């Protein structure tokens, strides 16, 4: 059986535009989802805390991120009492280019 090993970024593997940003937004949205689950808050409560609508919160938790900037997602985390730390460093040795990573 033949297969192609992925790059670690499904958006890049699919040839989509801005794959690093898409992956970063997806990881931040997943963190928002984890916070919501761990706190037991409803989407309506999260909407009140963040100033977003309940349908927007639903979209974020389902990974429908069109129209959301990373900055807005970071603000959502802050509104949920989560710190966001951004670290800037030289690219990894051997990497083809610099990128955006969320852990």
3-state secondary structure the chain: CCCCCCCCCHHHHCCCCCHHHHHHHHHHHHHHHHHHHHHCCCHHHHHHHHCCCHHHHHHHHCCCCCCCCHHHHHHHHHHCCCCCCCCCCCCCCCCCCCCCCCC
Asked if the structure places residue 66 within a domain, the reply is yes
Q: How confident is the model at residue 61 (pLDDT cuts 50, 70, 90)?
A: very high
pLDDT for 41: 98
pLDDT digits (tens, 9 = 90+) for 72-98: 999 999 999 999 999 898 988 888 888
Question: Across residues 14-26, what is the average pLDDT?
Answer: 94
Asked if the structure places residue 10 within a domain, the reply is no
Asked if the structure places residue 27 within a domain, the reply is no
Asked if the structure places residue 98 within a domain, the reply is no
What is the residue range of 71's domain?
42-81
Asked if the structure places residue 51 within a domain, the reply is yes
pLDDT digits (tens, 9 = 90+) for 21-53: 999 999 999 999 999 999 999 999 999 999 999
Q: What is the pTM of this model?
A: 0.86
CA–CA dist 56, 51 (Å, integer): 10
Asked if the structure places residue 58 within a domain, the reply is yes
Domain count within the chain:
1
């Amino acid at each position: 059986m033949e297969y192609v090993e992925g790059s670690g970024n499904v958006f890049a593997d699919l040839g989509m535009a801005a794959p690093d940003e898409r992956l970063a937004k997806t990881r931040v949205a997943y963190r928002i989802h984890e916070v919501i689950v761990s706190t037991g808050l409803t989407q309506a409560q999260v909407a009140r805390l963040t100033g977003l609508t309940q349908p927007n919160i639903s979209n974020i938790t389902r990974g429908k991120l069109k129209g959301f900037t990373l900055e807005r997602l970071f603000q959502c985390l802050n509104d949920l009492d989560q710190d966001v730390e951004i670290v800037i460093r030289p690219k990894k040795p051997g990497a083809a280019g610099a990128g955006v990573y969320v852990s």
